[in-house]
Amino acid sequence: MSKAQTEGLRLSGICRRFSQGKETLDVLRGANLNIQSGEIVALVGPSGAGKSTLLHIAGLLERPDQGEVFLAGISAGDQSEAERTRLRRLHLGFVYQFHHLLPEFSAVENIILPQMIAGIAKPTARERATDLLDRMGLANRADHRPGQLSGGEQQRVAICRALANGPRVLLADEPTGNLDPHTAESVFAELIALVRGTGVAALIATHNPELAQRMDRVVTLRDGILVTG
């Protein structure tokens, strides 16, 4: 497998600062990270350390003040906003603490829609959505709307939606943080199994040290820099 095929996400020298009145707050001060396809990395650090900012930059939702983001070997720095949107659509999947499902659509429709936006024919999109729901143990809930699903089921659907377009990189921000411990454990186990089955490169922010230790690596955001462990 070539380097281009194995490279998922690479962050090089990422810096991000914010102005607060007359003061400047350096949130990221040269963060570096390389995640290969099939690798699951936990992102930890205290609240306010900048984990969400790092994920937004990695997901091309924000631009860094310095540094570069590479997705599947492609540099995003000089891309136009339209090109960055295309890169997100092709190569990125997002899972947030809250599921953000569309309430008027069923579970399977919530997974079909992003595929159709990406140009996939509806029959193919439905087949992919049904397969993902089946792998998450939700085949019998496919036609239920979010309001008819439990919190854990809603988050499982959100995970399926994030992986529906076959991204090279999955970014997750506290994906089980809004669930009770038992449900969080079940959803996390299914998330890891699905990620490993698809070979996506995953960066998962979590405050749960036990979950973090079950991933391939743990990186800590400390004083604006990523350190191992």
Residue 162 within any structural domain of the chain: yes
**What is the model's pTM?**
0.87
Residue 145 within any structural domain of the chain: yes
Residue 217 within any structural domain of the chain: yes
Residue 119 within any structural domain of the chain: yes
Residue 8 within any structural domain of the chain: no
Provide the pairing of β-strand 7-20 with 66-71. Answer: antiparallel
Distances (CA, A) of 109 to 106, 113, 126, 158, 225: 5, 6, 8, 12, 40
pLDDT per position as a tens digit, 133-178: 998 888 999 999 999 998 889 988 998 999 998 899 999 988 877 7
Q: What's the structural domain count of the chain?
A: 1
> What is the domain range of residue 42?
38-65+80-228
Return the pLDDT at 207: 86
Residue 158 within any structural domain of the chain: yes
The rounded mean pLDDT for the chain is 87
Among 7-11, 68-72, 161-165, 181-185, the least confident range: 181-185
CATH number reported for the structural domain that contains residue 57 in this entry = 3.40.50.300
Q: What is the largest CA-CA distance in the chain?
A: 56
Residue 11 within any structural domain of the chain: no
Location of structure tokens 């600062």:
17
Residue 133 within any structural domain of the chain: yes
pLDDT per position as a tens digit, 24-78: 888 898 999 999 888 999 999 888 788 889 999 999 998 999 999 998 888 888 8
